[in-house]
Chains A and B, each alone.
Chain A
Amino acid sequence: MRRLLIDRTRCDGHGSCAELLPELLDLDEWGFPISLTGERDPAVPRSLAAHGERAVRACPLMALRIG
């Protein structure tokens, strides 16, 4: 299963990813993504692959990768 890898050192809490992937991510009270799947790097199901790719592109800090 491919995972959404969040580089926490880059993330600045813009929140684009959580808008695109509400199934996998929520935002904490400071605006930083929380994995909703219980995994450190949430697995991206096939049905969300396109949204995942979009989230990777939308992150202004390039903190996301799918791998």
Chain B
Amino acid sequence: MTAHLDTALWALGRGTGMVALVMFTLTLVLGIVSRSGRAALGVGRFGVAELHRTAALTGTGLITLHIGTLYFDPYAQLKLVDFVFPFLGSYRPFWLGLGTLAVDLLIVITVVSLLRERVGPRVFRAVHCATYALWPVALVHALGNGSDGGALWFRVLAGLCAAAVGIALSWRLSAGYVERGRVRIPRSVPR
């Protein structure tokens, strides 16, 4: 019975982690689409923004489950301190530490995003930039720490995620990124 529970926790921990990775990939891509001011996927501009938010919150919820289940999983040997301070874990401390780092970033980004009306756009935007650090850290953590890290199917999944983010990023940095190429606000004034 206990063994079954352990296996279940382990599987749940792995599964939630992987789906969270997919969710965050989706979040990042949708964030970039949303920032471009373009309607996409037939849901309009506000729809893209809402999907972005929903994907982010889903991913965050999954991560909560992910660390929760692994905390109760005796095999993973997580301690409470590992939720906050990176690189102190007993099992693969480096790879686990990356996960902790990602969780720390996630907490800050989530809190600031939920309180964005209060903190104002400057802080919101600065902190939101940290997502570009969060995503690769989370990906490397998944590849290094995950027990499926070596499996081909997982590598393919990770590769697809990386490709999606790579394409979105290069579009973000391209000249035609902002919609319709109209004269828009040349941002001479920082805000």
Contacts and interface: CB of A to CB of B under 8 A. Distances in A.
A64 to B, nearest CB: 10
Interface string A11-54: 01111110110000000011100000000000000000000001
A30 B37 contact: no
B45 to A, nearest CB: 4
Given A19-B44, A62-B116, A62-B124, A12 B184 contact: yes
A50 to B, nearest CB: 13
A30 B45 contact: no
Given A31-B182, A61-B121, A62-B117, A13 B37 contact: yes
Contact of B183 (A12, A16, A30): A30
A2 interface: no
A58 interface: yes
Contact of B45 (A9, A14, A61): A14
Nearest to B184: A13
A15 B44 CA distance: 10
B156 interface: no
Interface of A: 9-10, 12-17, 19-20, 29-31, 54-55, 58, 60-62
Given A30-B183, A60-B49, 20 more contacts: A10-B121, A10-B191, A12-B37, A12-B184, A16-B46, A16-B49, A17-B46, A19-B46, A20-B46, A30-B182, A30-B184, A31-B37, A31-B180, A58-B45, A58-B46, A58-B49, A58-B50, A60-B34, A60-B37, A62-B120
- Top 6 nearest A-B pairs (CB, nearest first) are A58-B46, A16-B46, A14-B37, A16-B45, A19-B44, A58-B49
